[in-house]
A and B are shown apart, each in its own frame.
Chain A
Amino acid sequence: DAGITQSPRHKVTETGTPVTLRCHQTENHRYMYWYRQDPGHGLRLIHYSYGVKDTDKGEVSDGYSVSRSKTEDFLLTLESATSSQTSVYFCAISRDYEQYFGPGTRLTVT
């Protein structure tokens, strides 16, 4: 257990609305990540952070932004949600080479 929580765990929202997902960790890890999981694609990296206010893009970053104002919190924002962003979102932290994941947020955009 890496002490990672995600909120909300489930969300249904309408196209065009902003959505923010929160990841919280209790172990003071430097690196944090946001992934999305879709059938046939495995997990794909959206954005990651290597410290407070230090973030970078992953392979599927379009339509997403992130912020990290405190070590323990990493926020993922969909500025204007689209149906293609319906997915399960996972946050992760890094310990050496391994990453440890939160329980996920299932987001449905209608």
Chain B
Amino acid sequence: DQQVKQNSPSLSVQEGRISILNCDYTNSMFDYFLWYKKYPAEGPTFLISISSIKDKNEDGRFTVFLNKSAKHLSLHIVPSQPGDSAVYFCAASSVQGGKLIFGQGTELSVKP
């Protein structure tokens, strides 16, 4: 049973446009959500997170939105840049320092 799902394996956008990556979860006990970015042959790097008490968190070009009623979160990248091309994983946790449950990943390609 996949508790965290990223239903789009890939996404292609033009440079300068908005990239929207989506993630759905099923466990209502999750209270913290994270996005990671992964380049080939490297480990995932932490990008941005959001607590369940918030519905939005921004960090520069990256914004994460959380819709608890729909059990849905999204990552917006504005404007998209070719260097953003990578695999993006969403993850969820229910306790500080606890286990993360990851989605399958979405491969973003930003075309010049």
Contact = CB atoms under 8 A, between A and B. Distances in A.
B23 to A, nearest CB: 11
Q: Is the interface of A mostly helix, strand, loop or mixed?
A: strand
Nearest to A97: B32
Contact of B104 (A40, A50, A90): A40
Contacts of B83: none
Give the bracket for the number of chain B residues in contact with chain A: 20 to 34
A98 B49 contact: yes
B99 to A, nearest CB: 6
Contacts, number: 54
A30 B96 CA distance: 12
A43 interface: yes
Interface in B97-112: 97, 99-100, 102-105
B96 A97 contact: yes
A92 to B, nearest CB: 8
- Of A35, A41, A97, A103, most B-chain CB atoms within 10 Å: A97
A22 interface: no
A33 B99 CA distance: 9
B43 interface: yes
Nearest to A1: B45
B46 A45 contact: no
